Structure 1
Amino acid sequence: MIKDIEKKNIVAVQSIRNMIMGSTLMANTSILLCCGLGAMISSTYSVKKPLNDSILGAQGELIVALKFATLFTIFLFSFLFHSLSVRFMSQLSILICTPQDTMSLVTQEYLSDLMGKATILNIVGNRVFHTGLPLLLWIFGPVMAFLCSIAMLLVLHKLDFVSRKENTIKVGRDEESGTT
């Protein structure tokens, strides 16, 4: 995109805008969950009996406080990573359309570094957020958290890795149509 910026600058900025919107949505969701946890803490704190006594959960105020503090911390870190990702992508979307000059301080390496940092922060933010989801069910007991963790592992494994069988089928179709 950088080499042929005159023809592809709109595509570059729109792609970065879409990444900004995704990171903003995840950051808003993370901070919303933090607010919900805070509201839950303030409403159940005065109750003598912890929330999860009846569903195979640990009993005691210390364990309940540990659960809420852990979840709150996880979602705050997810918010932080997504916010930093939005910051880098916003800077990138402004700088990518600057004219490329040999004397310019904005080089292709600098833009590539910004894109790499933004992408890594987005990935880490997503992983932290998705780690927090099974732990959110930890409030209701260990069985729900365990089942959600297993389901999350299976879904993320399916999304992250392409099996050899699917890969060979796709390559075979591409060879038949003459495309690569």
Structure 2
Amino acid sequence: MEWSKSYLDLILIPLSLLSFFLYHAWLWRKVEAEPHLTDIGISSAAHRQWVISMMKENDKKNILAVQTLRNSIMGATLMASTTILLCTGLAAVLSSTYSVKHSVNGAVYGAHGPLSLALKYAVILAVFLAAFYAYSLSIWFFSQVNFLINVVGDCGSPPVVSPEYVSRMLEKAFMLWIAGNRIFYSGISLLLWIFGPTLVLLCSVFVLQVLYKMDINGEEDGVRVFAEGDERRAKSLV
């Protein structure tokens, strides 16, 4: 029966997705409570410092600001193009009756019937489409910051936009980029679902270990970055 073949899928796949969700829920609370211990929190502080520096000396650093943002836009565009290409390939495979019905049954542990395999492709396609959506929104915010960062007051008039507003826009762009990356990583793990749910769980554990090493930083480095940021902000107000 199909149930006897799919019990591994019903247990291991939700467990893999739940592990991703719980890790990022914990990471979000960590960023809110102790940002100096996380790479995301330190990067957010560095982004605010960068915006203030670029807007304070706009005449000297306007080209540098535009080039830096252009590189970020190119990176987000590359990832968006990669995800949409994967979506196109999965859609082509899903539309192929032969590919869906003739899986490598001997290498698959779990459900591998035509309906189950079609469901696998549909779920993976939805995940990559979500990543593409996050990347596209990130590109839009980066483009907005690209214009706003060079808007400064002239002839004694107050600035049209404040560095705090531009910093928030830039923060949204990077947060969407990070969200797209994390969804993309989960999609890569789900690609192994074609060959069985066990590989998905093993890949998820490996990816979460790598992400933990990348997300958590030493306390001394984080405190130093935040202290330097507070000192620079204090000097900019003088």
TM-score range, shorter chain: 0.7 to 0.9
Q: Is the Cα–Cα contact under 8 Å of residues 93 and 100 in structure 2 kept in the other structure?
A: no
When normalised by structure 1's length, the TM-score is 0.82
Distance 2:93 2:87 in 1: 10
Distance 1:47 1:93 in 2: 45
Residue 157 (structure 1) aligned to one of 194, 212, 215: 212
Shift of 1:103: 4.2
Q: Is the Cα–Cα contact under 8 Å of residues 100 and 117 in structure 2 kept in the other structure?
A: no
Structure 1 runs not aligned, ≥5 long: 172-180
CA RMSD of aligned residues (A): 2.2
Q: 1:63 to 1:163 in 2, by over 3 A?
A: farther
Q: Which has the higher contact order (CA 8 A, sep 6+)?
A: 2
More helix by share: 2
Match of 2:28 in 1: none
**What are the superposed Cα offsets for residues 96-141 of structure 1, whole Å, 9 maximum, x if unpaired?**
1123354443332321221121111111111111111100111111
What is the total number of aligned residue pairs between the two structures? 166
Structure 2 runs not aligned, ≥5 long: 1-53, 225-238
Greater shift in the superposed pair: 17-26 or 150-159: 150-159
Q: Residue 2 of structure 1 aligns to a residue in which SS? A: helix
Please list, as runs of the form range in 1=range in 2, the aligned pairs for 1:135-150 lying within 5 A after superposition. Answer: 135-150=190-205
Match of 2:59 in 1: 6
Matched, 1:99 2:158: no
Residue 62 (structure 1) aligned to one of 115, 124, 131: 115
Match of 1:51 in 2: 103
Please list, as runs of the form range in 1=range in 2, the aligned pairs for 1:71-150 lying within 5 A after superposition. Answer: 71-100=124-153, 102-150=157-205
The percentage of aligned residue pairs carrying the same residue is 47
Q: 1:11 to 1:47 in 2, by over 3 A?
A: closer
Match of 2:49 in 1: none
